[in-house]
Structure 1
C-alpha cells in the first residue's frame, strides 16, 4: 500500500466520523455557506499567478513549519501579490484543519483553495461551509466519472475546481467543465520531481485551459522555466513555509520575478 492509498483509507474513516457528528443541513446553515465565492480563474490572470500555500507538514518532508499562525502568513501572501491561497485541511498527514480556513476567511479577499483528498460529496458541502472558493480534485484517487460528478456539484455550490493530474493516463479525467488543471511535478506515489514531465503533459491539454504547475518549484529558475513553457499559475508552499517567516520569503521571491 503506497502513501496515497493510506491517506484515502484514513480519509474514508474521517468522513464517516464527520457525517455522524454534523449533518448536511448543519453545514448548509453555517455562516459562510451562502457567501459569494471569489474566482481563482480571474485572479490567476493577475498579480503573480502564485497560489501560495499554508502547510505545516507533509508525508514526504515531515514537519515543515508548525510555529507560524495562518493569518500572519496568508496576510503577507495577499499583501505581496498572491493570486490565491491554498490551505491544507487534512489533519493526519498534513497537520491542517478547518479552523485554518475559518480563521482567515474574513480577513483576506483573494480566493481560498481547500486542499484535501476529496472523495465524497459531503466534503464539498464542508468546503462551502468553511468559506472555501475552490476545491482540489486529485485524479489519482478518483475516476473520470467521479471528477465529472464532483465538478458539477462544485459548480452548483459556487465552487471552482482545480483538477490535479500527474500521468498521461490521468488526462482522461479532464472535461470541459473543469476550471483549472494542476499538473503535479511531484509523483504522489514516490514523491520524485520532474518538471519536464509536467511540461509534456501540459502540451497535451487544450490550449485555452488554465494550467497550474504544482509542487517541486524550488527556485526562481524553476518558476521562470515553467512560466516560459506556458503555465498560467504556480502552486507553491514548501519553498515559503520552510522558512521562519514565510511571508518575508514570499515577498523576496516575488520581488525577483520577471512578471
Structure 2
C-alpha cells in the first residue's frame, strides 16, 4: 500500500489536468488493493484512455475491462504461456481494446515481436525481486522497431530519471513516484521540468 487514503477519481483528474496521455488503473484486489469499481469510476471521469492494470489470465478479465470502461489492458509476458499470450491479445483486439504488452528481458521482447504486438512496455522492475534494473530500457529498446510504441515502465523518480529515456522510448509509465506525492500537479512539474 503506497497511499492508504486516496480517491482514484480525484487522482485521475489531477493526472489528466497535468498532461498525462493515459492512466493505468490497478484492479488487482489481493496484492495491490485495486478494484474494478476504480476502473469504472476513473474511465467515466476522464477523457483520456484508461488501462486496466492487473494479472490478466483469462478472457473474462478482458470482458470485465471492456464492460468497466477500459480503453486498453496490460498483458504481462512473464506470467503467460506463448499461446495464451497470443489468444488474450487477439481477444482484446477483437473487442477493440488496446494492449500494453509488458516485457522484462530479450526473450520476452522477442516473443512480443513474433506476435506482431505494437505497444511494448519494458518494465525495469523485476517481478520476482521487485528490484529496479537500471539500463534495461536502453538495452531492450534497441531490439524494438522504432515504428512500434515503446514504453518505459517503473523506476522514474526524478527529472534525471525521465530524461535518460528521451529518444529511447515513446512513452513512460510512472506510478509509484506520483502516488507518494501529496500534490500530484506539483510533482508533475518537478518531474518534467529541470530545476522546478
TM-score of the aligned structures, taking structure 1 as reference length: 0.71
| Higher RCO (CA-CA < 8 Å; seq separation 6+) | 1
* Structure 2: tracts of 5 or more residues without a match: none
1:86 to 21, 24, 31: 24
Q: Which moved more, 1:151-160 or 1:196-205?
A: 196-205
Q: Look up the match of 2:171.
A: 233
Q: Look up the match of 1:106.
A: 44
2:77 to 116, 119, 139: 139
Note closer, same or farther for the CA distance 1:150–1:213 as it changes in structure 2 (3 Å cut).
same
How many residues of Structure 1 are paired with residues of Structure 2 in the alignment?
193
Q: Equivalents in 1 of 2:84, 2:177: separation in Å?
A: 32
Q: Equivalents in 1 of 2:30, 2:185: separation in Å?
A: 25
Note closer, same or farther for the CA distance 1:84–1:144 as it changes in structure 2 (3 Å cut).
same
Once the 2 structures are TM-superposed, how far is the Cα of residue 75 of structure 1 from its aligned partner? 0.4
Q: Look up the match of 1:118.
A: 56
Q: Equivalents in 2 of 1:212, 1:112: separation in Å?
A: 15
Q: Indicate if the aligned counterparts of 1:65 and 1:244 stay in contact, CA closer than 8 A.
A: no
Q: Equivalents in 2 of 1:84, 1:103: separation in Å?
A: 15
Residues 1:168 and 2:106 aligned together? yes
1:200 to 139, 153, 160: 139
TM-score of the aligned structures, taking structure 2 as reference length: 0.93
Alignment RMSD (CA, Å): 1.4
Residues 1:64 and 2:2 aligned together? yes
